[in-house]
Amino acid sequence: MIRRTQSIPTTPAQVQLLEQRTMPAGNVTVSISSEVLSMRGDEADNSVVINQLANGTIEIKGLSGTRINGKTSIKLNGAGLKSTDLRLFGGNDKLDIRNLKASVDHNIEMDQGNDQVLLTGVSAGVNLTVKTDAGNDTVTAKNVRTGSDFNIETEEGTSNVSVKGSTVGGSLTILGKDARDQVTVDTTRADKDLKINTGKGDDVVNLKTLEIGLTATITTDEGRDSILVSRVTTDEDFNVEAGKDDDRIQLVNLTSKKNIKVVADGGRDTVIGTKVRAQYDLEFLGGDEFDTLDDNGIVGGQKRDLKEFERIT
């Protein structure tokens, strides 16, 4: 009896060690239930490609050793897909999504690590949301379509966000935290608002060939920031606030059907305006220290205020 009693505690310990040794690294679990595609990663560095074919089939492949449900790839019936809930946890992960269509929402969430999210030809009947956690992250969206809002939110760490050739039925929102961030939005329309806030850090914002149905607001906070706006039209207001430190703001072929307000704030700032027109009020504020304004055609239909610039050319 004594021998049996002594041997009993050793068995669970041996089983636990065996389970830890056989736990697969770089395995991503995927399933479809109630027309929702779910994906969960582990703490390893995972690389996943999701591609939807014309017949609705969804192909999911693991790259660089990543397994999908224990396999190198799987196929699922994605016809009638309503939503996605895609999450890759810790590790330096890459998620490449192509031509994936959901009649309602896409929700993508990355955990801590240096992550990459690539969206090509992705569409959502309602909202598309991408969130990353701490790390140096990249989010790239090309030819994306949403019936309502498109939201991208990054956390602490350097981030690079690019949206190109896309149509947003609601508002396009890009939010970053404190670090050096780069945001590019090119050849895109948002039926409602455009909101960009990069937080503190030396940030770069490039906006080119945009149509905004309501208001555009760009905020870069503290840091030596660079903002370029070219060939942009808003049906309502256009606002820029650069924050403290030495910033450069260049506006070219900018038209607002209502008001334009640019605040350079603290620092030795340079503002360049070329063919900038507000149908109603236009206000440029230089702020503290020595600021320079290069006026190459800055027009306010009813009001034009250029203040707190030590030099205007």
Domain ranges within the chain, ordered by starting residue = 92-312
Q: Which is it for strands 101-102 and 172-175: parallel, antiparallel or unpaired?
A: unpaired
Contact assessment for residue 189 and residue 170, using Cβ atoms and an 8 Å cutoff: no
Percentages helix, strand, coil for the chain (3-state, rounded to 5) are 5, 55, 40
Over the stretch 171-215, which tens digit does the pLDDT of each residue have? 999 999 988 999 999 999 999 999 999 999 999 999 999 999 999
Q: For residue 46, which amino acid is it?
A: N
Query: Of 10-19, 138-147, 183-192, 195-204, which gets the smallest average pLDDT?
Result: 10-19
Q: How far is CA 214 from the centre of its chain?
A: 20
Closest CA to 50 of 1, 108, 99: 99
**pLDDT the model gives residue 24:** 41
Instruction: Report the percent of the chain where pLDDT is more than 70.
Output: 92
Q: What is the pLDDT of residue 154?
A: 96
Q: Which residue has the higher pLDDT, 286 or 14?
A: 286
pLDDT at residue number 27? 95
Per-residue pLDDT, 18: 30
CA 108, distance to chain mean position in Å, is 11
For residue range 194-203, list pLDDT tens digits in order.
Answer: 999 999 999 9
Contacts 24+ apart (CB under 8 A), 12-18: none
For residue 6, pLDDT over 90 is answered with no
Residues counted in the chain: 313
- Is residue 225 within 8 A of residue 246, CB to CB? The reply is no
> How high is the pLDDT of residue 22?
29
Could you tell me which residue, 23 or 89, shows the higher pLDDT?
Answer: 89
Burial 206-226 (b: 16+ CB within 10 A, else e): bbbbbbbbbbbbbbbbbbbbb
**What whole-number distance in Å separates Cα of residue 263 and Cα of residue 220?**
11
Phi-psi group of 16: left, alpha or beta (phi > 0 → left; psi -120 to 50 → alpha; rest → beta): alpha
What single-letter amino acid sits at 81? L
Q: How confident is the model at residue 16 (pLDDT cuts 50, 70, 90)?
A: very low
Going by C-alpha positions, the residue among 264, 300, 309 that lies closest to residue 282 is: 300
> Mean per-residue pLDDT for 68-94?
96
pLDDT category, 11, cuts 50, 70, 90? very low
Give me the pLDDT at residue 287, please: 87
Written as six digits, the tokens of 51 are 């591609």
- Point out which residues pair with 214 in neighbouring strands: none
**201: CB partners within 8 A, 6+ apart:** 178, 179, 180, 181, 221, 222, 223
